[in-house]
Structure 1
Amino acid sequence: MRSWLRGCSSSILAWRSAPFVATCEISRETFTNSAPPLEKIIVSELPLPPTSPSEDVGACSGTINPRRTGCISKTQELRNGNFLPNSRYIVATIHFAGAPAAPDPGSIYTGEQLIIIKTDGKLFPNGDPWKCITCGMPAENKQGSTAILEYPQAFKDGQRVLAGNNIIDGGYPLDSPKCTPNTTHIYPIRWGTSADNSGNGSSFRENRLHPDNVHMGFSAFTFTATEIGEFAFFSRLLFNPAPVLGLPLVPRYDLVNVTRLFDPTAPQRITVDGNQLKFNFSAVNIGELRGFSGSGDEITYVGFNRESGNTDLFAVKIRTGTVRRLTEHPGYTDPIDFSPDDKWMVILDTRGTDRVEFVSGMRHVPPLIDLVANKATTAVRNNGARRFFQPWLLDRSGDRGSYFGQKLNAGDNTPGSISDPQWNAQADPRWSWDQTQIAYYQALTVSPACGGMNPLPCPVSTAQGGRTYRIMLAKFPSRTPLKIREVSPVSDIIPWGVPVNPGDKNPTRPGPPPGNYVLKGISSGFANVTFKGDAATNVLTSVAVTYHQFSDDGLNFLEGSEDVNSTTLSVSKVKIDWHSNLTLSGQMQSTKVTSPEGFHVSIDLFDTVFEANGTLTTTVNGKVYKQPLNNA
């Protein structure tokens, strides 16, 4: 066993053909440095309702579904959720299409609905492997509810599901015959933020249920004339059967005792002392909340980069604010789910696709240009609706040494197979409570992410009915099923957070002001840094850095310069003008170079369509990483 402490260095990493050097992180957690053995994993596709040939009324005929229990849309999105307590079902939100017109009994199978799907290969009494929970609900049972598509998450009671900004309550366990549309209710969730608690409340997103089933984490955007920001929050869910203030005035869940997971008065990620810059990687800096550990003692999140261009996942202790880095591979990591016993995590990552390594492949570069380039570099992970994610299994301690996890759906990449790279993982994978299964869903690459102006030909769907979404199940046959773990309710109080009262305004995130600075390497060397921007708001628009034998670990030495300018084209779209000529020597041999005219990219945070002039190329130990083709 070995204790990894911040600031020390480890052995050479073997990532693909390029060795990298790991940097010890904040956590004082002790773990085995060796990689766990590979596990046998069996991946299959879960059954869904048959596919409707079109969205037209009546297109879902008795020929397509003789049981008249609905058809799924060929192209509209779906979401897998987590497992019911017995681990034999998952919850999912799907889009029914082609239903006959009322009063035909099949007319209830239309639009967004919550279903449960058997994962053991068995059938419900009517012959279907799935059951619709919300189809045919009376209107009075869903007053004030909103879209239920996003992130369905079942409570441990087996009868409630968090879905979108709602909680669906079946009245009985969802897999019970007693649970019917008439017993089911959809209750909206409200976040009251006005001082007098009036109105509809504020919008929120990316909801994640805490394992105690009492609290919920969520995120919320902030907007200025030129910037999009985001903060994460933690709150208690409180059922309000008869509200007298705020809208909607219907039975609902209120978010109470809300805490913002950011304190502007606490030590920040970058500090300034005279003309000296320093990074404080122990600072809690949550970009977007992604969930919780299995025991609920940690919050997982996407945080400020540790290395330039490298988007990773972190975890912070709820009680102490202690931060640890979970991933460090140069790929882009985002969705994550911890196993209930905290010993494993499943992540979705671009690792293995070489999608973002032209930006992130050079390691040991301080995240300085990220202060202006991050909005663009993070958007490169997608091409419009196409994501380049695949599911990976990691143990609790995450990436380290030569260990970068095990790909769940490894294979020969043949079209339609479980490893087909044109089927891209989406949103959150989910562990079963007994820890023998993981559910995740995928979307097929479709136009305009392929075909037309895009140089990538569009693949032909081999899924039933030609649909472009599928839900997958990964099983671990060598694992012994575990009993469901009960988690006691945690405190509403997070010591390092800030309680939010109705009427409070969000702060701005402090940052270094424009000026000329020096950043000293922990081991040797230094960097000259120039920040330009608006001194009144500390909004930076330009970062220029020159490195002089800069080294934090004494093993890798950085020379050269980077200069990045950011121009806001709209609230969500930026143009980046980038000049780079960096060389890393020592244990790693690497270069990061733009073409003579520089690298210029315009990209929108929401559309994520890549359009660039010039080139940015990173070479790591002889392996060359080039940028994607435009529109690809």
Structure 2
Amino acid sequence: MRFVELIAAAALGALHAQPTIAAVPNPPAPEPVEIIELPLPPVTTDSCTPDINPRGTGCINQGIYGEGFQSGSFLPDGRHIVAYVTFTGAPDAPNPASIYNGSQIILIKTDGTSFPNGDPWKCVTCGVPAENSQGTSDTWDYPHAFQDGKRLLFGTNIADCGEYSLIDSECTPERLFIYPIRWNVTPDGSGAGGAIREQRIHPDNVHFGFSSFEITNGAISQFGYFSRLQFNPSPTTGEPLVPRYDLVNVTTLYSPEVTPPWTVDGDQIVFNPLTNIVGELRGFSGRGGEVTYIGYSTESCNIDLYAAELATGSVRRLTAHPEYADPVDISPDDQWTAVMDTRGSDRDMFMAGMRGVPPLIDMVATTVASSVRNNHQRRFFQLYIIDRYGDRGDYFGQKVNAAGSGVAGSGAINDPEWNGRADPRWSPDGTQLAYWQDITASPACGGVNPLPCPNSTEPGGRYVRFMLATFTSRKPYTLPRVEPVSDVVPWGTPYVPGATVPTLPRIPEGTYTLVGTASGSAKVTITDNTDASSIKSVAVQHTDYSDDGINFLNGYENYTRSNPSYTLEIGEWYSDLVQTGETNSTKKTSPGGFHVSIDTFVNIFEANGTLTTTVDDNVYLQPLNYS
């Protein structure tokens, strides 16, 4: 079986598990795309002088690896978009009372026009009086506009211009109020509230999704949550005691009653794909019926995106290519998925390129599998669109920025040194996608790293750029407003303030048999750490294992992990797998094994030995330590 047919089998198998999908249509043809770069304030590494910005509306920093920059969503009119920038330069230039300093949220025109002052951008948060922003947090990520056009989310704050649209000249700093968001985690309502990350506004503008993690027994536990936003003008408990938005009716997007990926039946181990355990929440579908997240792998070492229906818990697999997928946005009509993915880079193929391998070692190898996509702060993402039915046949979606010379360092639309970041965003009418990139910089190149650093050709040597892709053959649509969904997520667990973080079930130490759906089996040996707090190693021996009856897997794989700290993982990997049938694949480590170390917060990949996957005539090697 060809590599593309294996992807089809994986994608269609996941789709056929969903009763709501009756048939899978043929893949769509590629669409014409026009890409322009959106304007940003001028850049300076020193003082923001009148020569650089004669209007006196500030300068931003270079934004190395997105430091102080992130693009956001469209406003409801589809002609403005939100971004987080960092203004810089001497405080006395261009005038002593400059409000254009530090982290701020701006609006950018997408139609080539300008605001009344002549700039194509407007700073929304610059100059807001301190009394209008009491108790706010210093977080600015994931900026997102509400559908009323008068409010926006940034970090764990909500900016509100009252009766005025954010784009109007009447929306002045004096009329804008910024309110903090608080999640109560104590029984008596005291304290500063719980940690909120990966925060997203639901399309109904009433609900709020987020992730949170805690360190338990030296390991990171992460769960997704769903809640309602409720404005509290006069709180009497909790910090800060200022007007704020409280998260109420919070639901943990996990239940002990949900079948986990792996269960045991006697001496057999059973795999349950498409489980709706939401760890890292990534957003919502366009019409708001689903929550998107990074789920447990359907195939070994293949990190994919999934969507779970809020009302039923039914899960669909959004991506199936063996490369890594993460930032995602589903179109307003729910028919298209925009995803930042390493597909095309071969970054993860050395460990995920062999298809149809049950994700047994993923019980301990997921940290490494999910981290190799990076080199320090460099991402290897590019933007793809995939129709609702996912990867299948020879269809792996369409690379949005495929046009151009492709020459590294050229600054072309498809320059591989420009890497995609979170999050791509669809326009309200479905005809455009906004996304941002940054250019490879030290320490992913230069210095002790032998890879040369490219020179930025952006204005002022800017390290970031904000792009707008238009699908010129599409007709714009107008959709009705999303109606508020229920606070109740039946397959979740209502959060009780003060409750301990759930413990995910795991397979007990022992030896089990996984029976192939079509033929053969895999002998699985699971070994715990000495304190029995977690799994230390998984060893697998495959014998004529097959789930499709077309390809057959033989050989062994063994992965052992250790964690000197909760972010640092050291893996010892031994593999000698052979797959025969309509495809011929191997996955082999060097005689001494493959030894890898990676810190999930720093993303420094260091390895000794080799791990190589071959698929027919294609050979995939692991990245070098400095690449």
Q: Same fold (TM over 0.5)?
A: yes
Mapped partners of 1:160, 1:526: distance in 2:
56
Corresponding residue for 2:266? 274
Alignment of 1:193-208 (within 5 A): 193-208=185-200
Give yes or no for contact 1:513–1:538 (8 Å, CA) kept in 2: no
Indicate whether 1:292 and 2:284 are aligned. Answer: yes
Mapped partners of 2:181, 2:565: distance in 1:
31
Number of aligned residue pairs: 616
Give yes or no for contact 1:169–1:186 (8 Å, CA) kept in 2: yes
Indicate whether 1:339 and 2:331 are aligned. Answer: yes
Corresponding residue for 1:6? none
Corresponding residue for 1:116? 107
Mapped partners of 1:14, 1:398: distance in 2:
13
Mapped partners of 2:508, 2:381: distance in 1:
36
Indicate whether 1:135 and 2:130 are aligned. Answer: no
Alignment of 1:229-308 (within 5 A): 229-308=221-300
Deviations 1:440-465 (A, max 9, x none): 11111100011122232100000100
Mapped partners of 1:74, 1:297: distance in 2:
39
Alignment of 1:564-579 (within 5 A): 564-579=559-574
Indicate whether 1:413 and 2:406 are aligned. Answer: yes
Deviations 1:155-206 (A, max 9, x none): 0000111110111112321111111111111110000100101010111100
Corresponding residue for 2:321? 329
Q: Give the Å deviation of 1:281.
A: 1.5
Moved more, 76-85 or 614-623: 76-85
Q: Give the Å deviation of 1:135.
A: 0.6
Deviations 1:365-389 (A, max 9, x none): 0000011111112110101110000
Give yes or no for contact 1:431–1:437 (8 Å, CA) kept in 2: yes
Indicate whether 1:82 and 2:70 are aligned. Answer: no
Q: Give the Å deviation of 1:589.
A: 1.0
Q: Give the Å deviation of 1:21.
A: 4.2
Q: Give the Å deviation of 1:607.
A: 0.7
Give yes or no for contact 1:44–1:474 (8 Å, CA) kept in 2: yes
Query: Normalization by structure 2: what TM-score?
Result: 0.96
User: Over aligned residue pairs, what C-alpha RMSD do you find?
Assistant: 1.5
Mapped partners of 2:139, 2:387: distance in 1:
32
Mapped partners of 2:341, 2:445: distance in 1:
21
Mapped partners of 2:70, 2:23: distance in 1:
34
Match of 1:469 among 464, 471, 475: 464
Cα 1:465/1:452, change in 2 over 3 Å:
same
Cα 1:100/1:538, change in 2 over 3 Å:
closer
Whichever residue aligns with residue 372 of structure 1, its letter is V
Give yes or no for contact 2:227–2:247 (8 Å, CA) kept in 1: yes
Q: Give the Å deviation of 1:250.
A: 0.6
Cα 1:71/1:494, change in 2 over 3 Å:
same
Deviations 1:35-92 (A, max 9, x none): 11111111111000000133xxxx0000000001000101333111110111000011
Corresponding residue for 2:582? 587
Mapped partners of 2:311, 2:8: distance in 1:
33
Indicate whether 1:501 and 2:496 are aligned. Answer: yes
Whichever residue aligns with residue 69 of structure 1, its letter is T
Deviations 1:206-234 (A, max 9, x none): 00111110001100012024211100000
Residue identity (%): 54
Corresponding residue for 1:352? 344
Cα 1:31/1:182, change in 2 over 3 Å:
farther
Whichever residue aligns with residue 14 of structure 1, its letter is V
Cα 1:587/1:333, change in 2 over 3 Å:
same
Query: Normalization by structure 1: what TM-score?
Result: 0.95
SS of the aligned residue for 1:315 comes to strand
Mapped partners of 1:580, 1:13: distance in 2:
20
Mapped partners of 2:458, 2:393: distance in 1:
39
Mapped partners of 1:299, 1:91: distance in 2:
22
Mapped partners of 2:553, 2:450: distance in 1:
36
Deviations 1:120-156 (A, max 9, x none): 0111111100000011110111111112421001000
Q: Give the Å deviation of 1:12.
A: 5.3
Give yes or no for contact 1:84–1:158 (8 Å, CA) kept in 2: yes
Whichever residue aligns with residue 209 of structure 1, its letter is I
Give yes or no for contact 1:85–1:484 (8 Å, CA) kept in 2: no
Corresponding residue for 1:4? none
Give yes or no for contact 1:212–1:487 (8 Å, CA) kept in 2: yes
Moved more, 546-555 or 105-114: 105-114
Mapped partners of 2:619, 2:312: distance in 1:
42
Alignment of 1:149-548 (within 5 A): 149-171=140-162, 172-411=164-403, 412-414=405-407, 415-534=410-529, 537=532, 539-548=534-543
Q: Give the Å deviation of 1:537.
A: 4.9
Mapped partners of 1:484, 1:430: distance in 2:
16
Mapped partners of 2:294, 2:106: distance in 1:
30
Q: Give the Å deviation of 1:344.
A: 1.0
Mapped partners of 2:532, 2:367: distance in 1:
18
Give yes or no for contact 1:99–1:107 (8 Å, CA) kept in 2: no
